[in-house]
Chains A and B, each alone.
Chain A
């Protein structure tokens, strides 16, 4: 079972990242963080970008780790790496709005 859990961990990481970013956006809007400025930066957006990049970095590390530390069958290892790549791409793609879109409007 641990092998199967490991195989889907890349997409579990995406699910956590997606929920955390969506949650932080909602919380930031509720607390008015879009109107708080830190120098030229908007507090809410800055926090969102930091969180997004942190997840992107962690998931990139997961890909490296799964590639360099295979465990169990060849099939499960390939699946683990492929799912980690899918999760990483999904986090990058679904997280792009933190840079582009208006936060609370």
Chain B
């Protein structure tokens, strides 16, 4: 009875209202995770239909099924949808739904940000779909190579849809990555030190860190290309000092890690499902963690292997060829750990296991062809041929779709609350496996015979007809298989008996709750002793439902959960999470309106959504916090902990650290572009260097010092109980903005040469960050006056200090990067 009382009490706090109001205001991670997965699957089906159209066109020579213009839109949208609107959101949705349950917590660190990410994804994805329905879909290939995607060769709005829509979706990916990293590092159940963390969480930690470092180069590239297309700033125009290879570098700095970003979460699912299917513990936990970390790093050393044929010196080719072959080793370590686990256990051939076998076969083949294209002479022969199309599908379909299908069957009961019943899934599996291999296996051969990727037709006498016809038949068999899978899954929702709790007898915490899970996940938070808490304590689920863990009694209507030390897993503080709100949907709508105005070329109106965004961000932050110290509160088991408002490093501080990590990568990528153009691009050095005068340099550097010192003075005053006196830091930041604005006014026209354009972007970056820091410092001063800050409640000041330091540091680097070459010339 106690469990039922607790359930009602927690549901009243954590639940979502019914109807459309609940739809727009929910910040619950389970709801949002399911929404993301369902939407991503819908995009998968759309992308699949596009693939069918591609295969229909290529089935016979001289096909008149679609013309070349429509075909270009088909393959561009197929790639873009599968990469950006299916794969990334699918694993994000899965992680959003599953991670808090595995980690033994009640929600994500930033629930409103989770919701914002979802709405941004929906709106951004919808933009691309509207473009496709209007016949204006992007048509320059999913990697948008310049100069093909530049204005002279793609004069329509098609490429703008890609650049703006994908950037919008990437914002969603970045904020979700920050959310996931902080949740994994801080929001675990007490006792769950890093070595006791579920492997899936390790995989997601590495994946999301890769996203924070890997996505900013693409966002930068998209912004630069859109600036070139919209305003004529020539970053990629060779005639005015740009270089089209800069786009390739920025794109593949994102694009290659992206492959691993997609593969690793799926591998995390494999590492979770496989030992349960084999009825044993995973073999080589530590080895797998090491291999995943190694993959996370090494995969950033591969990007040039997509550029082996552009004319790069042999030494540089060899660096990247070496890194590309090296990355096979940590991948191999995981595969051997999985095989060893199967060998050590007693595998059972259930539905998830079938798909895992499919994964092994297909992915290993894709990995081996990957090693082939990592070798430069082979790549020179196979580059841009159907061989590469086959390779990437073996890696991505094998490495992502098969494990995700295994995951769908493994965790199905978690979503439906019903046990798997029918045998339709077996037929679906065989159709998918056979259909996939029929489609892509001989594509290797026809690629080696010379068929280039992306061609819309071919002559009958060239000898490719049979290969393509079989591919197309295979593609349709695969589509039938996916259709059957969908029917099988839907049947479970409506026509299957209730499942018992933990149907696979797994040891991870997500199975220690009712199915489908309640909005708060668990009525109390466990103290974790090992990697498989449900095996360590078989009565744990019932004990938690009775409120016998931490925070087992609702308090003040607060959404409470616990935060721990990042490595040790020791109890740190209570986190009180914000409740349902419509702020995320409004903020996403305003963000979307900015991109829409850019798309419609109504540039003069774009300051409006930017101002609205500032107002919303202000309200977003102002709604949190308290005006009094409450000290340590009891959490059960005779322990107490302070709330996050009264600790030095609450989740918000950690979120800023990781957001600044992504921001820093963006900045470094911009500096890389500057250095690349200076050393490699033709028409450099520029005809005229920046001459802004020494005064603005000295003023700017002095102002950065004043801001940094001022932020520390304000912090010290607050600690001594003298309020947050922000006078010095405010003066420093205003002076910095003035100095940077003077520099912008004195800068040469950005349309004349790529140097001028890069200088303008660097200065704009510095002004933008100084303005953010200034807003934050003003916010802190007003919050202090309103009574929200005290010596104990000082986290907001520390967060503002972080952003001020970053703004000052990046502005100093920008000033030096611009002035030093000019002064020394």
Contact = CB atoms under 8 A, between A and B. Distances in A.
Same assembly: yes
B195 A75 contact: yes
Interface string B272-312: 00000000000000100110011011101100000000000
A25 B316 contact: yes
Interface stretch (B22-30, B318-326, B574-582, B633-641): B318-326
B790 interface: no
A4 B679 CA distance: 36
Given A11-B293, A75-B286, A93 B326 contact: yes
A11 B297 contact: yes
Given A1-B185, A100-B318, A103-B315, A83 B286 contact: no
B368 interface: no
A4 B326 contact: no
Interface in B522-544: none
A50 to B, nearest CB: 15
B63 interface: no
B294 A26 contact: no
Nearest to A104: B313
A11 B294 contact: yes
A3 B313 CA distance: 39
Contact of A86 (B185, B290, B318, B567): B290
Contact of B679 (A7, A26, A100): A26
Contacts of B804: none
A83 B185 contact: no
A4 B567 contact: yes
Interface in A61-101: 72-73, 75-76, 78-79, 82-83, 86-87, 90, 93-98, 100-101
Nearest to B205: A4
Interface string B323-340: 100100010000000000
B679 A105 contact: no
Contacts of A79: 286, 289-290, 293
B813 interface: no
A105 B313 contact: yes
A102 to B, nearest CB: 5
B471 to A, nearest CB: 36
Interface string B535-569: 00000000000000000000000000000001110
Contacts, number: 106
B567 A76 contact: yes
Contacts of B185: 1, 4
A3 B567 contact: yes
Most chain B CB atoms below 10 A, which of A25, A76, A86: A86
B314 interface: yes
A97 B195 contact: no
Contact of A83 (B194, B290, B315, B567): B290
A18 B566 contact: no
Interface in A29-79: 29-30, 72-73, 75-76, 78-79
A93 B675 CA distance: 26
A12 to B, nearest CB: 8
Nearest to B297: A11
Interface in B655-702: 675-676, 679-680
A98 B290 contact: no
Given A8-B293, A76-B567, A83-B293, A101 B195 contact: no
Q: Looking at chain B's contact residues, is the secondary structure mostly helix, strand, loop, or mixed? A: helix
B513 to A, nearest CB: 28
Nearest to A102: B314
B194 A101 contact: no
B315 A18 contact: no
Contact of A78 (B286, B298, B314, B567): B286
B319 A26 contact: no
B319 A94 contact: yes
Nearest to A7: B293
B193 interface: yes
Nearest to B567: A3
Nearest to B330: A86
A86 B294 contact: yes
Contact of B323 (A23, A78, A94): A94
B315 A25 contact: yes
Contacts of B330: 86
B703 to A, nearest CB: 30
A26 B680 contact: yes
B567 A73 contact: yes
A79 B195 CA distance: 10
A30 B675 CA distance: 11
B527 to A, nearest CB: 17
Contact of B319 (A22, A27, A102): A22
A3 B679 CA distance: 38
B297 A14 contact: yes
B300 A97 contact: no
Contacts of B297: 8, 11-12, 14-15, 87
Contacts of A4: 185, 194, 566-567
A26 B286 contact: no
B165 to A, nearest CB: 31
Contacts of B567: 1, 3-4, 72-73, 76
Nearest to B657: A1
Given A83-B293, A102-B313, A105-B313, A90 B194 contact: no
A94 B293 contact: no
Contact of A94 (B326, B568, B679, B680): B326
Given A79-B289, A103-B315, 14 more contacts: A8-B293, A12-B297, A15-B300, A18-B323, A30-B679, A73-B195, A73-B567, A73-B568, A93-B326, A94-B326, A96-B318, A98-B315, A102-B314, A103-B313
Identify the 8 closest CB pairs spanning chains A and B, nearest first: A97-B318, A75-B195, A30-B679, A11-B297, A101-B315, A3-B567, A94-B322, A101-B314
Interface of A: 1, 3-4, 7-8, 11-12, 14-15, 18, 21-23, 25-27, 29-30, 72-73, 75-76, 78-79, 82-83, 86-87, 90, 93-98, 100-105
Interface of B: 185, 193-195, 286, 289-290, 293-294, 296-298, 300-301, 313-319, 322-323, 326, 330, 566-568, 675-676, 679-680
16 contacts: A3-B567, A8-B293, A8-B297, A11-B294, A14-B298, A15-B300, A25-B313, A72-B567, A73-B194, A76-B195, A76-B567, A82-B286, A93-B326, A101-B315, A101-B318, A105-B314
